[in-house]
Structure 1
Amino acid sequence: MTGAGVVHNRRPPRLNHKKSRAGCQRCKARRVKCDEVKPACGGCSRHQVPCVYLKHEVSKTASAEDSLSPHAISQDQPQPKLPINQVLTPPTNNDPITSDDILDLPESRQRRLLELRLWHNYVTVCATPFHAAAPKTVLIEIWNNHLPHIAMRHDNLLYTIYSFSATRLLRDSPDDIELINAQRVYLSLALREQRKAVIQFYTQAEEADSLCFTSIMMTMNAFGSLQERNRNPYKPPIDMLRLGIGACAVYEEALKGARKFPSSKIVTFIENQPFFVSIPRMFDEEHRGPFLGILGPKNAQGVYEDSELWNPEVREAYECTLSYIGTMYTAVLDGETLHQMCTRIAAFALYVPKKFVDMVEELRPRALVMLAHFFSIATKGSAHWWVGQTPMREVQGLRRIVPQEWQRHMRWPLVMSGLEPV
């Protein structure tokens, strides 16, 4: 919610060129400029592969996107109860199609077969880990019965399931162009439908459930999509972390509405998991005890000696993040189930402070070291396919960019990840 090795030639670097609005399917998937020559473009001819052009309706798509903009909402329309600007999350590492680049999905036998394949894979494979690992049968019922039924009536969750399922199938078929496109297209559609659902949200139980479960599954999908990303040169997974911030804003607001309804499945879901029950005390000072060395010493007045921590916002972001990491480490020591550990891994992007993500993007050494600590503990969830070998590879990448004077703080994550002996 164990992956194949890194496929370096699947995700070539983005080139500096204007996007091709009518390019072929393969060039779109490879994110390269298509010369749009028909019946076969230059790239496909050069690689001696089939060249397929799909129908585009760019102007129609752009119009639809504009209609969902908060600035385009008529004064006569009901105003959204959620912060829709928070739903406009940035692209994740599986690169959803942008508004001027989205593929049209006409009804066809090929689409029906693709969606049947994705749905079958979800119900038979993606949810399988929860059959044996879930601590209570109510969770099994939600993941394998209620959630699919909700998805049949709410496209934001349905399209997220399709994208998530494609991410899983790509583990075994990393060069499958149809799956690469499906992963990106359905994520784009899920983001659009999530935004629509926010605008139309009136605190009905099932609408709240669909918003919350979509937010959770999007964070899982974003983490799972890190598996084959290009790490040379290494850059921290900022997109995954920022998607979590936007998803959390929707999740928390929708949850307030869901709590009004006894029939809400998301409320039942969180009330039967230790992680969610412990959230009110998750950021207490006691949890960061094992990792206080990263913050450094305090003077006689109890003030951190490092001037970076004199800024209250910066200090709070670091302390909250360390507390979260501390709860994960305690869970490992307590022998928490694999299912619950993976819940903590997925929720990191939901609950990490935005300021911390900003500092990771700025490549501040202390933030990078903390991120390495998170990923090193996340290696304990590698038995779940969507976690896989991603945490270990992220620790390896962070090791390369952490400055020399901070390398001593990388010793613990490297040992925890099994990259160095004890």
Structure 2
Amino acid sequence: RPPRLNHKKSRAGCQRCKARRVKCDEVKPACGGCNRHNVPCVYLKTEASKTASAENSLSPHATISPDQPQPKVAISQSRQRRLLELRLWHNYVTVLATPFHAAAPKTVLIEIWNNHLPHIAMRHDNLLYTIYAFSATNLLRDSPDDMELLTAQRVYLSLALREQRKAVIQFYTQAEEADSLCFTSIMMTMNAFGALQERNRNPYKPPTDMLRLGIGACAVYEEALKGARRFPSSKIVTFVENQPFYVSIPRMFDEEHRGPFLGILGPKNAQGVYEDSELWNLEAREAYECTLSYIGTMYTAVLDGESLHQMCTRIAAFALYVPKKFVDMVEELRPRALVILAHFFSIATKGSAHWWVGQTPMREVQGLRRIVPQEWQRHMRWPL
């Protein structure tokens, strides 16, 4: 393996290139990419003025760096902010939430999403800011160059992560705190998946950022759910107990579920040991097996004709339950990990009727095919 070179990401690129995650040539007043696409080119101000702008208004210059572990953001009250938040809330209630409710199989779930979730969000900023970010992600599908929406998506997600950290400390004190933590974690994974739709795939890189966000969200979700079970009034407990997916979690990683995909792991010798030496490492083998079992439950759900609502629940939860070691191996571009990820996205196409799933799964499968080595291409026939 060639030595890794030290590489420092540019922090001075324009807003549009940052949002698209492409390299910016930083030419001013307009970079090459924005000139080529004939769109407005907006740069961050100097560090001092950028900080002042972030504290004074919600403007393109208030964008928060995703590398910042503890974002310090203060958005002043202004007519601009009130109108933007009203726009995001209106879009969530009228466009995003309603179709989701209609797909829910039980009245109690509709009641939670339609009535309880907005009320919880009004009292808990972690969930409220996540809703704003989720709504901005949706609106960006039709207006990818809207700088106000690009800024809102990034700022409100940063604010949501900050408030989520605060809520972790407080969740033992009341049922609603646990509810806000869990619903925020779920919606963050949906938002992360939805944000994949317009990402740059040339050259193709697996969406490990989305998977890693899910791992962090899962740790919060699991701990909060334990705390929520102490409160009879908890909405997340009602939510979980009324969905087959969550009820089946204890057996989700059983060996029987990965049966259709055992060929990816390869043959075993007479002693029952995999012939491929990569699988002799216990942590790697278990990560592959658990991920394949999860994908196997999704495949079974498709064969059983499970509802669109339940299928999308499984798609969103993949990032929550995939082993960290598997994500590490995807990041290392191990062929077996890439093939397994392609199988997940292939099955995820069954949820394309939901906007945040859309055409992303097939685009990811096609991207993965381009980087899977030739000797592994035979395993890509099924996903394609």
Of residues 71-80 and 150-159 in structure 1, the stretch that sits farther from structure 2 once superposed is 71-80
The one of the two structures with greater contact order (alpha-carbon pairs below 8 A, sep at least 6) is 1
Decide whether aligned partners of structure 1 residues 74 and 174 sit closer, same or farther in structure 2, where only a CA change above 3 A counts.
Answer: closer
Q: Whole-Å Cα distance in 1 between the matches of residues 183 and 141 of structure 2?
A: 23
Residue 103 of structure 1 aligns with which residue? none
Deviation of 1:199 (Å) = 2.6
* Maintained 8 Å contact 2:178/2:224: yes
Decide whether aligned partners of structure 1 residues 30 and 76 sit closer, same or farther in structure 2, where only a CA change above 3 A counts.
Answer: closer
Q: Whole-Å Cα distance in 1 between the matches of residues 219 and 360 of structure 2?
A: 26
Deviation of 1:370 (Å) = 0.3
Q: Whole-Å Cα distance in 1 between the matches of residues 60 and 26 of structure 2?
A: 35
- Give a deviation string over 1:328-363, Cα, whole Å, max 9, x none: 000000000000000000000000001100000011
* Maintained 8 Å contact 1:82/1:250: no
- Aligned to 1:60, the other structure's residue is in SS state helix
Deviation of 1:32 (Å) = 9.2
Q: Whole-Å Cα distance in 2 between the matches of residues 218 and 138 of structure 1?
A: 22
Residue 77 of structure 1 aligns with which residue? 68
Structure 1 segments of 4+ aligned residues over 6 angstroms from their partners: 11-28, 30-86
Deviation of 1:83 (Å) = 25
Decide whether aligned partners of structure 1 residues 80 and 334 sit closer, same or farther in structure 2, where only a CA change above 3 A counts.
Answer: same
Deviation of 1:174 (Å) = 1.5
Decide whether aligned partners of structure 1 residues 374 and 76 sit closer, same or farther in structure 2, where only a CA change above 3 A counts.
Answer: closer
Q: Whole-Å Cα distance in 2 between the matches of residues 327 and 84 of structure 1?
A: 44
- Aligned to 1:17, the other structure's residue is in SS state coil
- Say whether 1:224 aligns with 2:194: yes
- Say whether 1:280 aligns with 2:271: no
Residue 50 of structure 2 aligns with which residue? 60
Decide whether aligned partners of structure 1 residues 69 and 287 sit closer, same or farther in structure 2, where only a CA change above 3 A counts.
Answer: farther
- Aligned to 1:250, the other structure's residue is in SS state helix
- Aligned to 2:76, the other structure's residue is in SS state helix
Using the size of structure 2 for normalisation, the TM-score is 0.84
- Give a deviation string over 1:291-334, Cα, whole Å, max 9, x none: 00001111111111111111111111111000000000000000
Decide whether aligned partners of structure 1 residues 263 and 363 sit closer, same or farther in structure 2, where only a CA change above 3 A counts.
Answer: same
* Maintained 8 Å contact 1:399/1:407: yes
Deviation of 1:163 (Å) = 0.4
Q: Whole-Å Cα distance in 1 between the matches of residues 108 and 29 of structure 2?
A: 54
Q: Whole-Å Cα distance in 1 between the matches of residues 313 and 328 of structure 2?
A: 24
Of residues 267-276 and 176-185 in structure 1, the stretch that sits farther from structure 2 once superposed is 176-185
Decide whether aligned partners of structure 1 residues 52 and 372 sit closer, same or farther in structure 2, where only a CA change above 3 A counts.
Answer: closer
* Maintained 8 Å contact 1:139/1:272: yes
- Say whether 1:292 aligns with 2:262: yes
* Maintained 8 Å contact 1:127/1:144: yes
Decide whether aligned partners of structure 1 residues 260 and 318 sit closer, same or farther in structure 2, where only a CA change above 3 A counts.
Answer: same
Deviation of 1:17 (Å) = 11
Matched pairs, number: 383
Q: Whole-Å Cα distance in 1 between the matches of residues 38 and 347 of structure 2?
A: 45
- Aligned to 2:268, the other structure's residue is in SS state coil
* Maintained 8 Å contact 1:118/1:166: yes
- Give a deviation string over 1:265-287, Cα, whole Å, max 9, x none: 00000100000000000000000
Decide whether aligned partners of structure 1 residues 299 and 338 sit closer, same or farther in structure 2, where only a CA change above 3 A counts.
Answer: same
- Give a deviation string over 1:29-62, Cα, whole Å, max 9, x none: 6789999999999999999977889999969979
* Maintained 8 Å contact 1:70/1:85: no
Deviation of 1:132 (Å) = 2.1
Of residues 12-21 and 109-118 in structure 1, the stretch that sits farther from structure 2 once superposed is 12-21
Of residues 177-186 and 42-51 in structure 1, the stretch that sits farther from structure 2 once superposed is 42-51
* Maintained 8 Å contact 1:119/1:162: yes
Decide whether aligned partners of structure 1 residues 244 and 50 sit closer, same or farther in structure 2, where only a CA change above 3 A counts.
Answer: closer
* Maintained 8 Å contact 1:81/1:202: no
Decide whether aligned partners of structure 1 residues 376 and 406 sit closer, same or farther in structure 2, where only a CA change above 3 A counts.
Answer: same
Q: Which has the higher helix share?
A: 2
Decide whether aligned partners of structure 1 residues 112 and 286 sit closer, same or farther in structure 2, where only a CA change above 3 A counts.
Answer: same
Q: Whole-Å Cα distance in 2 between the matches of residues 252 and 45 of structure 1?
A: 47
Decide whether aligned partners of structure 1 residues 52 and 333 sit closer, same or farther in structure 2, where only a CA change above 3 A counts.
Answer: closer
- Aligned to 2:45, the other structure's residue is in SS state coil
Deviation of 1:130 (Å) = 2.3
The match for 2:12 among 22, 33, 40 is: 22
- Aligned to 1:85, the other structure's residue is in SS state coil
Decide whether aligned partners of structure 1 residues 288 and 49 sit closer, same or farther in structure 2, where only a CA change above 3 A counts.
Answer: closer
Structure 2 unmatched ranges of 5 or more: none
Decide whether aligned partners of structure 1 residues 237 and 41 sit closer, same or farther in structure 2, where only a CA change above 3 A counts.
Answer: closer
* Maintained 8 Å contact 1:382/1:388: yes
* Maintained 8 Å contact 1:296/1:305: yes
- Aligned to 1:115, the other structure's residue is in SS state helix
**Percent identity, aligned pairs only?**
93
Q: Whole-Å Cα distance in 2 between the matches of residues 288 and 359 of structure 1?
A: 19
Deviation of 1:200 (Å) = 3.0
Structure 1 unmatched ranges of 5 or more: 1-10, 87-107, 413-420
Using the size of structure 1 for normalisation, the TM-score is 0.77
Deviation of 1:139 (Å) = 0.6
Deviation of 1:141 (Å) = 0.8
Q: Whole-Å Cα distance in 1 between the matches of residues 262 and 83 of structure 2?
A: 53
Residue 154 of structure 1 aligns with which residue? 124
Q: Whole-Å Cα distance in 1 between the matches of residues 370 and 89 of structure 2?
A: 39
* Maintained 8 Å contact 2:57/2:81: no
* Maintained 8 Å contact 1:283/1:324: yes
Decide whether aligned partners of structure 1 residues 258 and 61 sit closer, same or farther in structure 2, where only a CA change above 3 A counts.
Answer: farther
* Maintained 8 Å contact 1:70/1:84: no
Deviation of 1:112 (Å) = 0.5
